[in-house]
Amino acid sequence: MAIPQLAWSDVRPAAIVLVSGTEVILADRAIRMLRDTLKTEDPSLEVSDIEADGYAPGELLTLASPSLFDEPRLIRVSNVEKCTDVFLEEMLAYLSSPADDTYVVLRHNGGVRGKKLLDAVRAGTGGGIEIVCAELKKDSDKYAFAVAEFTMAGRRITNGALRAVVAAFQDDLSELANACQQLISDSSAEITEATVEKYYGGRVETNAFKVADAAIAGRHGEALTLLRHALSTGADPVPVVAAFAMKMRAMARVSGARGGSGQIAGALGLAPWQVERAQRDLAGWTDEGLGRTIEVLAETDASVKGAGRDPVFALERMVGVVAHRGAL
C-alpha cells in the first residue's frame, strides 16, 4: 500500500520519514519541525546524524539500539541520493523490522541512486510517510511558505507586510526565509508594512514593484521618478522588467476570468490576494492594451539583456506604455 505523501508543513512522526525533493529550505524546515515535535513530546529524545555517503557498517543498528534509559531516538540520515552499498543493504534490512520508539529520517535530494530503497519505503515497508519538498514555483506557494514561517513563530503580520516581503524576495526562497526570520527576530510588535520598509526598503525588487504599481495605476510622472531613483541607487534593469512582467502576466491571466477570487486563484495557481489585486489593476485596461503592453515588455526584456544599446531608454519607454495602458 502506498504511503501518505505530505507537504513539508504537515510533517508528523513516523517510524520512517522520507524527505524527498530538491528544495533544501523546505526539507530543513520539515526535519526541524519533526525534531521539535518529538522534543516536545519527550525532552529526553536522543538525536543522531548519519551521512549515507560515508556510512560505517553497523552504524544504523548501533544508533537504533535501545539505550539504558530507553529514550526515544531520532536518526537523521543525509545524502541518501549518494548512499553507499552497505548503507543501502542495511537500511533495506532495517525496514523489515524498525526499532521501537525510533524515528529515521531519510533525506533524498533527487536522482536515481537509492531508488530500490525509495521504492520500498513508498510501497509501505517500514510503515513510513513521505514529505515532498519540490521546488516552489507558484507565487501562491511562496506566499503560503511565508505565512507558515510567521505562523510557526507565533508572530502577527499584516497582509500588506506579508505581500511586501514576498514580493521583495520571491526569486530566492532561501532569501525569503532569511527575511522572514529577520523580521521575526528583530521586531517586538506586530509586523507591518512600515516594518518591512524599515528593513528592506532598499531592496531592488521592492523598488521595482513600486515603479510597476505606479505605472499600472496610470501615474506616469511618479513611475518615472521612482524608476530613476531605483536605477540611481543600484537597481538592475533586468529585475525591474521582471517585476512589471509578473504583474502584467497576472493581470492578463485574471482578465476575463469568472468567479470568486478563491475560485479563480485555485484555477490559476495564484493566491486570492493576487487575484484581487490584479482585478483592481485591470480597471481602465482593454484586451488590446494588455496585448500591446506585453509585447513591449518582451521587447524591453530583450533590450536590457543585451539586444539594445540603451536599457534606460527602453525602461522609460516601457513605463510610458504601461502608464498609458498600452495606448502608445
Cell of 122: 513508498
pLDDT of residue 205: 54
**Predicted pLDDT at 14:** 96
Q: What is the 3-state secondary structure (H, E, C) of 209-270?
A: HHHHHHHHCCCHHHHHHHHHHHHHCCCCHHHHHHHHHHHHHHHHHHCCCCCCHHHHHHHHCC
Low-confidence ranges of the chain (pLDDT < 70): 1, 68, 187-188, 201-207, 328
pLDDT tens for each residue of 115-134: 999 999 999 999 999 999 99
Domain boundaries, the chain: 5-132, 139-200, 204-323
Reduced to 3 states, what is the DSSP secondary structure of residue 42? coil
Q: How far are the Cα atoms of 12, 269, 308 from residue 58, in angstroms, in the given order?
A: 27, 47, 62
CATH code of the domain occupying 139-200: 1.10.8
> What confidence score (pLDDT) does residue 204 get?
47
CATH hierarchy code of domain 204-323: 1.20.272.10
How is domain 5-132 classified at the CATH fold level? Answer: Rossmann fold (3.40.50)
pLDDT of the residue at 188: 66
CB atoms within 10 A of CB 253: 17
pLDDT score at 309:
84
d(CA 163, CA 153): 18
> Cell digits for 4?
501518505
